Structure formats: structure tokens, C-alpha cells
């Protein structure tokens, strides 16, 4: 039995890798803040653009409220990076291509697709980061959880989508396919980011134990995705 303790590496327990704890100065922490920050600012602009498809003033106000929350989260991350002596622009730039590619490949064409993407895709991202939060230093984990806080869209989205799919079987079928596409694209881009950023891969490996643990992490994300789709009536 081998244990490295708090070192930024996994622990070896009876021949199997177990989750470890990331040190506060692990380089993956800065990259984690960077990818989160770009995710928040891109979500802000996505929500502003998607609001153009909103059919009512109530819907536009709801989208504006969510966009404001995303901007607040970005500012939290900007401050956290500044406390580490890092500039948010230089840290976020390496993640722009992957996240922009995700949004470009999942552009919604209807208001219902906007709602499903808002609910499902944001949930997938939150699941991924919460999976590793337990291995982060307390102050880092607190920042991650703060920026992944609920933006108040769940009730708004669920009620609209459930009502629509209950009365339109064709719309339900299309949105089920849309949900599968969102899942596939999200996992593809997450894997791409990990493959390109060694320090993030090491951080996730520490949190999950080993490559088998990473596979299990993505499996759990798919389970939660299925649960969200069921909440929307898309089963």
C-alpha cells in the first residue's frame, strides 16, 4: 500500500489508484480557472444572442437574468486569477478554440432548442467540474462551486419544455436527438481540452484516480444527462 498524501498526485491503495488531493499551487488550478472563465463569458454572449429567439418579454427577461449571472461568475474567476498574479485574457485564450467549436456545432435553431441547451449543456459542464471539486484545495473548490451556482433557469426551462413536448410528439423526438447531440459534442470537446492541456489532465487524473476513473467520470456525466432529459420529459 502506497500513499503520497497531499502532493497533487493520486494515492495507491492495495494496487489500485484512488483519488488524491491537488496542491494549491498545482498549475492545473490556473488552467481550471481559465477554462471556467472562458466558459462563463462565452455563456454570457450565447444567452444574449439566444434571447433574440425568445417569444415573449418574460422569456427575454429570464435570459437576461441568466446572462447577468454568468457575467458575475466570470468576474469572480477574474479576481481569483488576479489574486494568483495572472491575467484573465492570457489564461483563457488557450481554451477559446475548443469552447467556440462546441457552440458553433450546437447552434440552436428554435426556441425549444435554446432552452434544452441552456438546461442540459450547462448541467453537463457543472457535473464535470463538481466531479473534481472534492480533490481541490478548499479555497479553490469554493471558487469553483460559486461560479457553478444555479443561475435560476431550471424552473423556467423545465416548465416550458415539459409543456411543449407533452402536446407535440414531433417536437419531442427532435429535442431528444438534440439532447444526444449536446452530450456527444460536450464530451468530445472536454476530451480535446484534456488532450491539449497536460496540467489539466494531471489535475483530473488526481481527482479521479487514474484513466479508468476518468472513464467512470464521463459515465456518471451521461447518467446525469439522462436524468436531466427525463426531467424535461424527453424520454
pLDDT in tens, 43-62: 999 999 999 999 999 999 99
Is residue 8 domain-resident?
A: no
Kindly indicate the confidence band of residue 10, based on its pLDDT and cuts at 50, 70 and 90: very low
Is residue 57 domain-resident?
A: yes
Quick one: pLDDT at residue 81? 96
Question: Reduced to 3 states, what is the DSSP secondary structure of residue 62?
Answer: helix
**For residue 211, pLDDT beyond 90:** no
**For residue 153, pLDDT beyond 80:** no
Quick one: pLDDT at residue 150? 64
Q: Tell me the average pLDDT of the chain.
A: 86
Q: Bin 137: left if φ > 0, else alpha if -120 < ψ < 50, else beta.
A: beta
Quick one: pLDDT at residue 227? 94
**For residue 38, pLDDT beyond 90:** yes
Kindly indicate the confidence band of residue 201, based on its pLDDT and cuts at 50, 70 and 90: confident
Chain centroid, CA 159 distance in Å: 22
Q: In degrees, to the nearest 5, what angle opens at C-alpha 233 toward C-alphas 44 and 179? A: 50
Quick one: pLDDT at residue 151? 58
Is residue 4 domain-resident?
A: no
Cell, residue 21 = 488531493
Is residue 43 domain-resident?
A: yes
Rounded alpha-carbon distances, angstroms, from residue 119 to 16, 141, 158, 161:
36, 23, 8, 10
Mean pLDDT calculated for residue range 129-158:
82
Number of domains composing the chain: 1
Contact by Cβ (8 Å): 182, 117:
yes
Is residue 124 domain-resident?
A: yes
Quick one: pLDDT at residue 11? 43
Q: What is the largest CA-CA distance in the chain?
A: 61
Contact by Cβ (8 Å): 130, 148:
yes
The enclosing domain of 150 has a CATH number of: 1.20.1260.10
Show the domain range for 183: 23-231
Kindly indicate the confidence band of residue 14, based on its pLDDT and cuts at 50, 70 and 90: very low
Contact by Cβ (8 Å): 38, 95:
yes
Is residue 7 domain-resident?
A: no
Is residue 165 domain-resident?
A: yes
Mean pLDDT calculated for residue range 172-177:
97
- Rounded CA-CA distance 192/11 in Å is 26
Kindly indicate the confidence band of residue 12, based on its pLDDT and cuts at 50, 70 and 90: very low
Mean pLDDT calculated for residue range 15-23:
63
Contact by Cβ (8 Å): 122, 182:
no
**For residue 98, pLDDT beyond 80:** yes
Is residue 126 domain-resident?
A: yes
Question: Reduced to 3 states, what is the DSSP secondary structure of residue 228?
Answer: helix
Quick one: pLDDT at residue 125? 81
Q: Which of 6-15, 85-94, 157-166, 197-206 has the weakest average pLDDT? A: 6-15
Mean pLDDT calculated for residue range 84-96:
94
Question: Reduced to 3 states, what is the DSSP secondary structure of residue 81?
Answer: helix
- Rounded CA-CA distance 216/226 in Å is 15
Q: Positive or negative CA dihedral for 165, 186, 208, 76?
A: negative
Burial status of residue 109 (CB atoms within 10 A of its CB: 0-12, 13-18, 19 or more): exposed
- Rounded CA-CA distance 70/121 in Å is 14
Q: Which helix (H) or strand (E) holds 227?
A: helix 211-231
Amino acid at each position: 500500500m502506497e500513499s503520497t498524501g497531499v502532493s497533487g498526485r493520486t494515492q495507491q491503495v492495495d494496487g489500485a489508484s484512488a483519488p488524491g488531493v491537488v496542491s494549491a499551487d498545482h498549475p492545473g488550478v490556473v488552467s481550471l480557472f481559465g477554462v471556467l472563465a472562458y466558459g462563463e463569458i462565452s455563456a454570457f454572449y450565447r444567452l444574449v444572442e439566444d434571447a433574440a429567439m425568445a417569444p415573449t418579454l418574460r422569456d427575454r427577461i429570464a435570459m437576461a437574468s441568466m446572462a447577468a449571472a454568468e457575467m458575475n461568475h466570470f468576474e469572480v474567476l477574474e479576481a481569483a486569477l488576479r489574486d494568483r498574479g495572472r491575467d484573465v485574457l492570457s489564461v483563457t485564450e488557450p481554451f477559446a478554440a475548443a469552447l467556440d467549436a462546441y457552440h458553433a456545432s450546437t447552434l440552436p435553431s428554435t426556441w425549444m432548442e435554446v432552452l434544452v441547451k441552456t438546461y442540459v449543456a450547462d448541467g453537463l459542464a457543472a457535473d464535470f467540474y463538481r466531479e473534481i471539486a472534492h480533490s481541490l484545495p478548499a479555497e479553490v473548490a469554493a471558487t469553483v462551486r460559486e461560479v457553478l451556482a444555479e443561475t435560476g433557469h431550471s424552473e423556467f426551462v423545465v416548465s416550458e419544455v415539459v409543456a411543449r413536448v407533452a402536446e407535440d410528439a414531433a417536437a419531442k423526438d427532435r429535442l431528444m436527438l438534440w439532447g444526444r447531440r449536446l452530450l456527444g459534442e460536450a464530451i468530445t470537446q472536454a476530451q480535446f481540452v484534456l488532450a491539449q492541456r497536460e496540467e489539466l489532465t494531471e489535475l483530473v487524473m488526481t481527482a479521479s484516480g487514474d484513466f479508468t476513473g476518468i472513464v467512470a467520470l464521463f459515465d456518471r456525466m451521461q447518467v446525469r444527462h439522462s436524468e436531466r432529459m427525463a426531467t424535461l420529459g424527453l424520454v
